[in-house]
Amino acid sequence: MRGIRYTLLGDGSSDRILNGPIQWAIRRLGCSIEIANWADFGYLKHPPRSLADKLELAIELYPGDVYFIHRDAEGFGIENRVAEIREAIDSLVYSVPIVPVSMSEAW
């Protein structure tokens, strides 16, 4: 039986650190990980701007079984961010929204 293939789509490069907790959670469920992708668009001359466009490109470039989509609440509220993620997904893929109320970066 193969392991889970997942892709993390974040707001920025510092969100890559979420791979650790994601992998921990997957393993706690008794699952193995076959592929852990980070949807990196930093190398593109014209990276996508909207969440829907980012997700569409992530599906094309980083195929997976599940997509973890990170968006900081940033004053919009968790409900609004989860709704934004759900709207962008539009039933295209299995996904898990990650919306911290406080910033995950520690400066």
Phi, psi of 45, rounded to the nearest 5 degrees? -65, -40
- Residue-level length of the chain: 107
This prediction has a pTM of: 0.79
Element (H, E) at 9: strand 4-9
Question: For residues 20 and 23, what is the distance between their CA atoms, to the nearest angstrom?
Answer: 5
For the chain, 107 residues long, give each residue's pLDDT as a single digit of tens.
679 999 999 888 888 889 999 999 999 999 999 999 999 898 899 999 888 889 889 999 998 899 998 887 677 777 777 777 777 776 666 767 677 666 555 54
